[in-house]
Amino acid sequence: MSLMQAIKARDASLLPSRRDEAWRYSDLRAAIREIPGASPEASRPTGPPPLVDVEADHEILVLNGRAEAKGFLAVAGAPITLRLRIVSDAEHTLHQSALTLDLEPGADLTLIETYEGQGSAYVSGFSLAISLGAGARLERIVLVDEPADAISISRSEIELQPGARLAQTVVCSGARLQRHETEVRHPGGGADVRLDGLYLLDGKRHADLTTVLAHTAPDGTTRQLTKGLAKDQARGVFQGRILVEEGADRTDARMGHHALLLNDGAEIDAKPELEIYADEVSCAHGNTVGSLDDAALFYMRSRGLPEAEARALLMQAFVGEVVDRIEHDGARAAVQAWVARRLEALA
Amino acid sequence: MLSIENLHVSIGDKEIIKGLSLQVPAGEVHAVMGPNGAGKSTLSYTLAGRAGYEVTEGMATLDGEDLLALEPNERAAKGVFLSFQYPLEIPGVPTLTFIRAALNAQRKARGEGEVSAPAFLKLAREAAGKLKIDFDMLKRPLNVGFSGGEKKRMEILQMAMLSPRLLILDETDSGLDIDALRIVSEGVNAMRSPDRSMLVITHYQRLLDYIKPDRVHVLASGRIVASGGPELALELEAKGYDQYAKAAA
Ligand SMILES: Nc1ncnc2c1ncn2[C@@H]1O[C@H](COP(=O)(O)OP(=O)(O)OP(=O)(O)O)[C@@H](O)[C@H]1O
Ligand SMILES: [Mg+2]
């Protein structure tokens, strides 16, 4: 069952619900009672795109489910930056689209993928099929920053060839229901994957970062680090599954999820899973949910920092680890700036 | 000056400070000694404004201003500095970043402008040099992985840079090696001035050989049970707290 099928059939009962294991914490069926009508065309946004300071060589705009292109092909050679801007401008309507992204062997691409919205209570669906040729390199930076009452489901399927490198950082601020899902087929053979995430939530916002990664052959590495902060009645969901298939020997995979609840009403649901059917595998996962350290906060305040500033500094330090792993200098600086602004709301 | 009158402090249902009075005039250094669990750290946390330390009676003022009504950061901006018995680790926040944020927050609260980056770095280099702290250490997250003695030195470094008016040192000497004790004491002595008051909590006479107190107080069972000149510390070293334990009971 999926959003696409339900939309096609115009039947909300086909939507995934918490009775489906993969949607246990993000009940789409409960959030969408009836399939809304299709979103009309919208005019191009006049404001600057999110992460505007990152210089891009190419841009693809997706506006209310209408994409300027069917896909993008990155050719081998000099590094390229592509901005993929997914914009919703709708009221109580639905739109969706799909795109392909292909990297030739040896291509080097930085993808700045942003989700933004105007209007309210829209449903947005987006899917991306990505393939990386041998030795290609993709750094994907995703920022999902939408209105609090939006429903936004995005999903990507990523295939890599041996020797390729994928580095992904998803940063999101939640919405009524926001889910970003990544499925990776890892070919081993020296291919290297980094799958990071960060959710910064307040109000009644809900964000779900779900990843499914399968090591299908020997000698692959995966590093995964997701961090999150939840304030008010916000709810953060992390589902990370790493599957090491039979024969995927000498796989080296690490998964960490660490979150802080900023007050009592907030909630974090985490489901880290490692499933191993291969030999000589080095795998580890860690999962912690805590709160800001009161003793540390008092110490900081006793040195003169107002409470909000002390909290912001501790939160910044906590999430900084994820942001610091972004390799593209311009993107890292832009995400840092976005995170700093977002933390002001959470402090 | 610091003035404490008939202070009562409870943690939860348990009264820890039971009618404590103490005056530390400007320019003076007062030592507070007393058995483990007497309430020395409770007194310092209360003066710094830690949550959960409930003042049920009495008052504490700094130059006539009610300290107890202020938030911890407001007290800091008024010049209160507590050197913690157990300094906290602040993961992910470089020491320099932390001190600069604290200094600027205090200045802002007092209506002063921010310190420029070069001026701040100069201040930090000077203070680190005096305390024989390797400047590179200040780039590491505050106190994370620092040894006990290094943390105490870092407290004094912060104190020197924040330039407070009321200095409370809670067992700053514990954990310091012989050289560090001398260096830290010199750092503290350099801060003695006619408009500063110091409250030095210690278990050992040796610190008081370096930081010469004007008065020595004995804190036992939540009260000041004896006060005297520097000779009182020598007497305690010889005889222990037995007589005061009885007096307090
Ligand atoms: N959070 C707390 N809950 C209950 N009791 C507490 C709490 N904190 C401190 N106490 C108690 O208060 C009393 C005073 O503790 P305090 O730390 O002030 O002693 P101290 O004089 O500083 O001792 P030391 O010389 O060992 O540092 C002790 O009996 C201690 O167990
Ligand atoms: Mg103590």
Cβ of B90 within 8 Å of Cβ of A302? The answer is no
Looking at the predicted structure, is the pLDDT value of residue B40 above 80? Answer: yes
- For residue B47, give the CATH number of its domain: 3.40.50.300
Looking at the predicted structure, is the pLDDT value of residue A167 above 70? Answer: yes
Q: What is the pLDDT of residue A4?
A: 80
Q: Are the beta carbons of A239 and A274 closer than 8 angstroms?
A: no
Contacts of A154 (CB under 8 A, 6+ apart): A86, A115, A124, A125, A126, A127, A128, A144, A179, A180, A181
Domain count, chain B: 1
- Inside any domain, residue A191: yes
Alpha-carbon gap, residue B179 to B187, rounded angstroms: 12
Looking at the predicted structure, is the pLDDT value of residue B159 above 90? Answer: yes
Banded pLDDT at B247 (limits 50, 70, 90): low
Alpha-carbon gap, residue A279 to A286, rounded angstroms: 21
- The per-residue pLDDT of chain A, averaged, comes to 96
- Inside any domain, residue A307: no
Residue A60, CA distances (Å) to A23, A40, A113, A122 in order: 30, 19, 10, 21
Beta strands in chain B (DSSP E): 2-11, 14-24, 29-33, 53-62, 65-66, 80-83, 166-170, 197-201, 215-220, 223-228
The backbone torsions φ and ψ at residue A24, rounded to the nearest 5 degrees and listed phi first, read -55, -40
DSSP symbols for B58-119: EEEEETTEESTTS-HHHHHHTTEEEE-SSPPP-TT-BHHHHHHHHHHHHHHHTTPPPPPHHH
The backbone torsions φ and ψ at residue B182, rounded to the nearest 5 degrees and listed phi first, read -65, -45
Whether B116 lines ligand 1, by a CB cut-off of 6 Å, is no
- The per-residue pLDDT of chain B, averaged, comes to 94
Alpha-carbon gap, residue A173 to A228, rounded angstroms: 10
- What residues make up the domain containing B58? 2-248
Residue B60 amino acid letter: A
Residue A301, chain B, CB below 8 Å: the answer is: yes
DSSP symbols for A253-287: EEEEEEEEE-STT-EEEEEEEEEE-SSS-EEEEEE
Task: Give the CA radius of gyration of chain A.
Answer: 20
Q: What is the pLDDT of residue B248?
A: 52
Looking at the predicted structure, is the pLDDT value of residue A1 above 90? Answer: no
pLDDT tens digits for range A136-145: 999 999 999 9
Q: What tokens does A91 get?
A: 């009221």
- Inside any domain, residue A280: yes
Domain count, chain A: 1
Q: What tokens does A74 get?
A: 């990155």
- Inside any domain, residue A313: no
In chain A, count H helices and then E strands: 5, 18
Q: What tokens does A153 get?
A: 């489901």
Which residue's structure tokens are 């009885």? B246
Alpha-carbon gap, residue B228 to B213, rounded angstroms: 10
Task: Quote the pTM value.
Answer: 0.89
Alpha-carbon gap, residue A169 to A182, rounded angstroms: 11
Distance B48 CA to ligand 2 centre (A): 14
Which residue's structure tokens are 């009260």? B223
- What residues make up the domain containing A146? 36-295
Alpha-carbon gap, residue A142 to A155, rounded angstroms: 12
Banded pLDDT at A129 (limits 50, 70, 90): very high
Cβ of A318 within 8 Å of Cβ of B51? The answer is no
The backbone torsions φ and ψ at residue A162, rounded to the nearest 5 degrees and listed phi first, read -50, 145
Looking at the predicted structure, is the pLDDT value of residue A281 above 60? Answer: yes
3-class SS of residue A320: helix
Cβ of A307 within 8 Å of Cβ of B87? The answer is no
Query: Which of A293, A302, A320 faces B48 most closely, judged by CB atoms?
Result: A302
Residue B200 amino acid letter: V
- Inside any domain, residue A145: yes
Residue A78, chain B, CB below 8 Å: the answer is: no
pLDDT tens digits for range A3-32: 788 888 889 999 999 999 999 999 999 999
Site from A229, A288, A303 to mutate, B interface, most B CB atoms within 10 angstroms: A303
More confident residue, B105 or A1: B105
Looking at the predicted structure, is the pLDDT value of residue A318 above 80? Answer: yes
- Inside any domain, residue A321: no
CA dihedral sign of residues A314, A316, A319, A321: negative
Whether B218 lines ligand 1, by a CB cut-off of 6 Å, is no
- Inside any domain, residue A20: no
Cβ of A299 within 8 Å of Cβ of B90? The answer is yes
Q: Are the beta carbons of A147 and A174 closer than 8 angstroms?
A: no
